[in-house]
Amino acid sequence: MGATIALDAMGGDFAPANPVAGAILAARELGSRVILVGRQDEIERELGRHGAPDSSLSVVHASEAVAMDEAPAMALRRKKDSSLRVAANLVHEGKADALVSAGNSGAVMATAVFVLGTVEGVDRPALAAVVPNLRGRSVWLDVGANVDSKPQHIHQWAVMAHIYSRNILGIEQPRVGLLSIGEEAGKGNDLVRETFKLLKESGLNFIGNVEGHDIFNGNADVIVCDGFTGNVSLKVIESATQTLFHFLRQEFARSWRTRLGYLLSRPAFKGFKKRTDYAEFGGVPLLGVRGATIISHGRSSPRAIRNAIRVAGEVVDHRVNQQIQDEIRKGSHGVQTVTA
Amino acid sequence: MGATIALDAMGGDFAPANPVAGAILAARELGSRVILVGRQDEIERELGRHGAPDSSLSVVHASEAVAMDEAPAMALRRKKDSSLRVAANLVHEGKADALVSAGNSGAVMATAVFVLGTVEGVDRPALAAVVPNLRGRSVWLDVGANVDSKPQHIHQWAVMAHIYSRNILGIEQPRVGLLSIGEEAGKGNDLVRETFKLLKESGLNFIGNVEGHDIFNGNADVIVCDGFTGNVSLKVIESATQTLFHFLRQEFARSWRTRLGYLLSRPAFKGFKKRTDYAEFGGVPLLGVRGATIISHGRSSPRAIRNAIRVAGEVVDHRVNQQIQDEIRKGSHGVQTVTA
C-alpha cells in the first residue's frame, strides 16, 4: 500500500493549475494517492479540465492561501485555514503521510516544523538538494532552512543526508564531505573547523573537506554546509546557468548556420534538459521533520509536481525520517543534540 | 608611459611556457612592458621558441619556485628567492608597478600582503571577481582572500569594489548589493544583518540585500559577501557549468544528427566561450594591497596571462589603490577600520 500525499493545491506561481495537473500525472503514471487541499471550487474546475476524475485523487477544502511573498510567521499565525496549514494538519492527523508544496518556501518550512514537529534528536530540520553529478546524484544540505548554524547541527544533517543517500539513492557507504575553501583539514572558517572535528569522530564515512567542484564531480555523495552558504550557492548556480544559456541562445541566433545547427541539435538540448532540469528531481526534501515534507520550486511545472509527489512517496516508503530518529536515538554516528 | 608588470614566470600549472607566451602576446598586442621573473635559462629557452626577443620584455632571475600545493606560510618563510617573492620585491622597490601570478593563490596573497603591505585604512585585502552579467560586468568580492570576516571588512570591500567598478568599468554610480538569502532588510545571518546597517549609513549607492541570481542578471554592479561564501560559490559555479557542458557534450555525441548540429553550431559555441571564458577576464585583482596584484587561474592559457597583464595595467593606470587610500583616508563612505 503506497503513501498518501497531501498536496498544497494553492501553492506556487501557477496554482492551482499546475499542482492539480501534477497530481493527475502522478495518479495516472505512478498510481499515487493524492489529497488536493485548497479552494474546492477552483480545484474541481481544474480537475474538470482534465476529464474524468481519478479515484485516487480527493479534495479537502481550505478557504485561504498563503501568498508567495507573505512573511512566514504571519502566515503561520493568521492563516489557520490556509491550504498549506490544512495539508500539514492532514499529515499530523495521520490522514496523509507526506506534505508537498510549491508555495512560499519559508512558510512551508515554518508550518511543517510547527504542525508536524521535528524528529526526535534533530535540533534543526534542513533542506536537502539532490543534484546530478558526473557519476550519479549527490545530496547537498542545508540549502536554506537555517541561517546561523552550529557544528552540532551540521553533524546532524550529515547523518540525515547519509540516511537519505543510502535509503533513497541506494548508495551503500555514502562518502560525506564538508564544504570548505580547501581540502586540507585546517582550511575553512571557524564553523568548518569545529564541524570537521565532530565529523571526524562520527563514524560516518567522512572524506574530509570538499570544495565547490565536488558537488558536481561525484567525489562525494553527501555534502554538508551551513544553510547560508548552501542557499546562496544554490541560487548562484541557478542564475549562472540561466545566464550562460541566455548567452548561448544569443550566439545561436546570430547566423543562419548556427540557427540550422540548433534545429539539428534539438534532441541534444532536450536530453540535456531532461538530465539537469530541476523539474525532474521533484523538489527538495525538508529532512528532520516528522512525516515527510517536500518543497517544490515556485515555478513548478505539472511534471515537477508529479516528481515531487514521487519523491514524497519514496521518503515515506523508505522510512527516511523513522531511520533518522532510530539512528540518532541509538547514538549512532556520535550525534549530540544542542537542545538536550 | 604605461605600467611595468612583474610576472611570476614560474607560477601556474603550465609554467614557464604559458606565462612566457602570455607575456609575448601582451608585449606584441598591447605594448606592455613585462619583467619575467624566474629561472633565467628556462625563461630564455621559452622566449627562444617564440623567435626574436622583444625589447619590452626583460628577465630577472629567481632560483626557486613555489609549488601549487605548498603551504603559503612555508613558501613565505623558506623560499626567499622564489619567482613570486622576487617579483613582489620588484614592485616593492618601485622597479615594477604590478605583480601578476598564476601560481599558488594562497602564496600569492600571503606574499603580496607581506612584501607590499595593505593600503592605508584597509584591514584586509579582498579578491574581486569581475563577472559577466546580462548588461555588462559586476565586481563580486571577497571570493577567497579571507575566511572569517567582520562587518567592517565587508564595508571596506564595498568601497574598494565601488572604486574598481567606477574607475575600471566606467560605471558612474555603481549599485552596491549585499549577498544574502532574501532581499528584505532583516534576511540573512548575523554577519549580513550587521553589515547591512553599516552599508546603509555609508553613503554608497547601496541597494540592499541581493540574492545569488543578482550576480549575473545585472541588478547590481558590486556584490559583497564574506570570503568563505564567495569562494565556495565561485567554485560551485565553475564546477556546475563544467558539469553542465559535459552533459551537453554527451548528448551531442549521441547521434549523427546532433553531431552535425554541433559542427554547424560551432561559431555559436566559440562566441559563447569568448564571452564567458575566464581567460578573457584576465585574472582576479587582489584589492587593497599596495601596488597592484592580479591573481590568474592556475590553468591560465597564454591568452589568460595576456589579459591579466592588461588588467594589471588598467589597475595601475586608473590608480585604483591610490583612490581607495584617498577615499578611505578622507573618511568617505563612512569606513571605519578594525585595527585603528
* Interface touch A239/B188, C-beta < 8 Å: no
Checking if the pLDDT of B60 tops 60, the result is: yes
Residue from A70, A124, A181 whose CB has the most chain B CBs within 10 Å, to mutate: A181
* Interface touch A254/B265, C-beta < 8 Å: no
pLDDT of residue B270: 85
pLDDT of residue B340: 46
Q: Which of A49-58, A149-158, B156-165, B205-214 has the lowest mean pLDDT?
A: A49-58
Checking if the pLDDT of B1 tops 60, the result is: no
Return the number of other C-beta atoms located less than 10 Å from residue A280's C-beta: 13
Checking if the pLDDT of A328 tops 90, the result is: no
Q: Which of A96-100, A201-205, B22-26, B269-273 has the lowest mean pLDDT?
A: B269-273
Checking if the pLDDT of A269 tops 90, the result is: no
As a whole number, mean pLDDT of residues B314-335 equals 85
pLDDT of residue B239: 80
Measured between CB atoms, does B246 come within 8 Å of chain A? yes
Chain B residue numbers touching A268 (CB-CB < 8 A): 248, 251-252, 254, 258, 261-262
Residues within 8 A of A (CB atoms), B 200-219 only: 211-217
pLDDT of residue A301: 92
Which has more pLDDT, A69 or B335?
A69
Query: Dihedral of the CA atoms A215, A218, A224, A228 (nearest 10)?
Result: 10
Q: Which three cell numbers stand for residue B160?
A: 574598494
Q: Which of A232, A77, A11, A103 is nearest to B182 (CA)?
A: A232
The DSSP string of B244-303 is HHHHHHHHHTT-HHHHHHHHHHHHHHHHHHHHH-HHHHT-EEEETBSS-EEE--TT--HH
The CA-based angle B79-B80-B84, given to 5 degrees, is 80
The sheet with strand B284-287 has its strands ordered as: B57-61, B33-38, B4-8, B98-101, B293-295, B284-287, B126-132, B137-141, B222-224, B176-179, B206-210
Extended beta strands in A39-175, E state:
57-61, 98-101, 126-132, 137-141
What is the pLDDT confidence band of residue A279, given thresholds at 50, 70 and 90?
low
Taken in order A224, A227, A233, A239, the sign of the CA dihedral is positive
Q: Reduced to 3 states, what is the DSSP secondary structure of residue A93?
A: coil
Q: Which three cell numbers stand for residue A286?
A: 525538508
Give residue-wise pLDDT tens across range B247-285.
888 888 888 888 888 888 888 888 877 777 766 777 899
What is the pLDDT confidence band of residue A330, given thresholds at 50, 70 and 90?
confident
Residues within 8 A of B (CB atoms), A 110-149 only: 132-134, 144, 147-148
What is the pLDDT confidence band of residue B52, given thresholds at 50, 70 and 90?
low
Checking if the pLDDT of B72 tops 80, the result is: yes
Checking if the pLDDT of A324 tops 50, the result is: yes
C-alpha separations of A9 from A23, A62, A102, A302, B100 in Å: 9, 10, 9, 11, 57
Question: Contacts from B253-257 at CB under 8 Å and sequence distance 24+?
Answer: B254/A267, B254/A268, B254/A271, B255/A267, B257/A264, B257/A267
pLDDT of residue B180: 94
Q: How far is CA A338 from the centre of its chain?
A: 24
C-alpha separations of A270 from A267, A302, B171, B250, B270 in Å: 5, 17, 39, 12, 21
ipTM score here? 0.81
Cis peptide before A132 (omega within 30 of 0): no
Q: Reduced to 3 states, what is the DSSP secondary structure of residue A31?
A: coil
Q: How far is the C-alpha of B251 from the C-alpha of A268, rounded, in Å?
A: 5
Q: Which of A127, A8, A7, A143 is nearest to A67 (CA)?
A: A8
Residue B153's contacts (CB-CB under 8 Å, 6 or more residues apart) are: B123, B124, B126, B146, B338
Measured between CB atoms, does A81 come within 8 Å of chain B? no
* Interface touch B190/A248, C-beta < 8 Å: no
As a whole number, mean pLDDT of residues B228-257 equals 86
Checking if the pLDDT of A153 tops 60, the result is: yes
pLDDT of residue B287: 95
B224 membership: H or E segment, kind and range: strand B222-224
8-state DSSP, A218: S
Return the number of other C-beta atoms located less than 10 Å from residue A36's C-beta: 28
Checking if the pLDDT of A217 tops 80, the result is: yes
pLDDT of residue A52: 65
Q: Which of A123-132, A281-290, B10-19, B45-54 has the lowest mean pLDDT?
A: B45-54
Q: Which of A29-33, A188-192, A336-340 has the lowest mean pLDDT?
A: A336-340
Q: Tell me which chain A residue has its CA closest to the CA of residue B276.
A: A244
The Cα of B11 is separated from the nearest Cα of chain A by a number of Å equal to 19
Chain A residue numbers touching B243 (CB-CB < 8 A): 132-134, 216-217
Q: Which three cell numbers stand for residue A259?
A: 540557427
The bridge status of strand A293-295 relative to strand A98-101 is parallel
As a whole number, mean pLDDT of residues A117-146 equals 91
What is the pLDDT confidence band of residue A339, given thresholds at 50, 70 and 90?
low
Q: How far is the C-alpha of A55 from the C-alpha of A58, rounded, in Å?
A: 7
What is the pLDDT confidence band of residue B53, given thresholds at 50, 70 and 90?
low
Which phi and psi (to 5°) does residue A304 adopt? Answer: -65, -40
Mean pLDDT of chain A: 90
Question: To the nearest whole percent, how much of chain A has pLDDT over 90?
Answer: 62
Q: Are A209 and A192 in contact (CB under 8 A)?
A: yes
Residues pairing with A141 in the sheet:
A128, A224
Both ends of chain B: CA-CA distance in Å?
Answer: 37
As a whole number, mean pLDDT of residues A139-167 equals 93
Return the number of other C-beta atoms located less than 10 Å from residue A8's C-beta: 33
Q: How far is the C-alpha of B264 from the C-alpha of B261, rounded, in Å?
A: 5
Extended beta strands in A73-197, E state:
98-101, 126-132, 137-141, 176-179
The bridge status of strand B57-61 relative to strand B33-38 is parallel
Give residue-wise pLDDT tens across range A23-67.
999 999 999 999 999 999 999 999 999 986 678 999 999 999 999
Closest partner residue to B181 among A144, A189, A238, by Cβ? A144
Q: How far is the C-alpha of A35 from the C-alpha of A40, rounded, in Å?
A: 12
